[in-house]
Amino acid sequence: MVKKLIKKIINSMGYNISKFNNEIKNINFDELLKEKIKNNPVIFDVGANSGQSIMKYKKIFQNPTIHSFEPIKKEFEFISTRFGNDKNIFLNNFALGDKAEFKELNVTAKSSNSSFIKIKEGTEWLDRRSKDKKTSPQKYSEVQKVKIETLDQYCRDKKIDKIDLLKIDTQGYEDKVLLGSQETINKNKVNVIIVEIMFDNVYEKYFSFSDIEKFIKPSDFRMVGIDLMNNNLFSGLVFFADVYYFNKKTYNL
């Protein structure tokens, strides 16, 4: 009776109690990356926003070389102020995609939600975000025309022949980034890929695993971990994950 009462109280606070299984070890993904990726890694941070990943990777790794891609003017100016004097960080004010072009980017009040993909109208998520930002229920604060290049062309221009970590967080444009990276990926030049996969209905486009894996599984990448935000489509406003793929040849998987 007492156990049930305690469990009920804890559940009401938003927590859950479950029996501990000592055969299961929860992975800290930062520690996993630190263990599996050598020092002085070359990192591609595609979708840098305000530099959150740059800061994280500088803490995880010794002497990382980071190539950062952020098309939003305001955010690029911010990370230029923060990291512009770091000789190991290369800041690029353009996006990566499947071809060289200029494209309209839908910039939201919270810039990390900005996307080339349109946000769906009339969703609870849009209503909630508008209230959070104290704005009317509008989808975008502005539309910017931004430059897009391919990762393959960037690597050719910069003579980069190895990427230890490729992180892609582009709010529904991840498949286009991977399509523009096929030469580099197919030539076994990438060791680890972390890609955000969105399953929810925030944008007019959502993904399944196959939408992403068709670009990397033929090149011997294997999913080794998944960091979920929510665990189903019907509970909460969002449902997405950062999915970790390792090169099977590099890691003998």
User: For the domain that residue 234 is a member of, what is the CATH number?
Assistant: 3.40.50.150
Specify if 99 maps to a domain: yes
pLDDT value for 159: 97
Contact criterion met (CB below 8 Å) for 192 and 33: yes
Q: Give the integer Cα–Cα distance in Å for 251 and 191.
A: 8
- Whether residue 130 is contained in a domain is answered as yes
Do the domain assignments include residue 175?
A: yes
To the nearest 10°, report the CA torsion of 44, 248, 38, 91.
Answer: 0
Per-residue pLDDT, 108? 84
Is residue 241 included in any domain, yes or no? yes
95 lies in a domain? yes
Phi, psi of 222 (to 5 degrees): -125, 135
Do the Cβ atoms of 194 and 188 come closer than 8 Å? no
In a domain, 151, yes or no: yes
Q: Find out whether 35 and 68 touch, Cβ atoms under 8 Å.
A: no
pTM: 0.86
Residue 194: partners with Cβ closer than 8 Å, 6 or more residues away: 165, 166, 167, 168, 242, 243, 244, 245
Residue ranges making up the domain that contains 230: 28-251
Please check whether residue 8 lies inside any domain of the structure. Answer: no
For every one of its 253 residues, what pLDDT tens digit does the chain have, with 9 covering 90 and above? Answer: 555 555 555 565 555 655 545 555 677 999 999 999 988 999 999 999 999 999 999 999 999 999 999 999 999 999 999 999 999 999 999 999 999 999 999 998 788 888 888 887 766 766 666 566 555 545 567 899 999 999 999 999 999 999 999 999 999 999 999 999 999 999 999 999 999 998 988 888 889 999 999 999 999 999 999 999 888 888 878 888 999 999 999 999 9
Tell me what pLDDT residue 10 has.
56
Total domains, the chain: 1
pLDDT given at position 137 = 46
Closest CA to 73 of 100, 105, 44, 99: 105
Among left, alpha and beta (phi > 0; psi -120 to 50; other), residue 79 is: alpha
**pLDDT at 20 (0 to 100):** 45
Farthest CA pair distance, the chain = 68
Q: Residue 3 domain-assigned?
A: no
